[in-house]
Amino acid sequence: MNRKLKLIWDFKGSVSLPTAQHHCVHLKEYATLEKLHFYEINHLEISEMHSIAFITVDEVDMKTYRDALKPHRGELA
């Protein structure tokens, strides 16, 4: 069974939420252009000054995404 991983980008400051929302647009564009599989692309507001954008992918695809997009961190989904 293949594990799912969540690749995460952190954004801080007063414009963190719109920045995370906009980053999701670019994540979708990249996955579509490269014809790569993903489960979910979304954003989450942690606090007024911290938001994240994330993509959930299969572990086997993680290196492709990681090397091209340089996420700040990752976790098991």
CATH number at residue 68: 3.30.70
Q: Which residue has tokens 């994540």?
A: 27
74 near 52, Cβ under 8 Å? no
Q: What is the pLDDT of residue 2?
A: 87
CA distances from 11 to 17, 19, 22, 63, 77 (A): 8, 7, 11, 22, 20
pTM above 0.85, yes or no: yes
Residue 37's region, left for phi above 0, alpha for psi from -120 to 50, else beta, is beta
Report the 10 Å Cβ neighbour count for 16: 21
Domain count, the chain: 1
Which residues does residue 59 pair with via DSSP β-bridges, in sequence order?
none
| Mean pLDDT in order along the chain per 10 residues (77 residues) | 93 98 98 96 98 97 96 96
The boundaries of the domain holding residue 11 are: 4-76
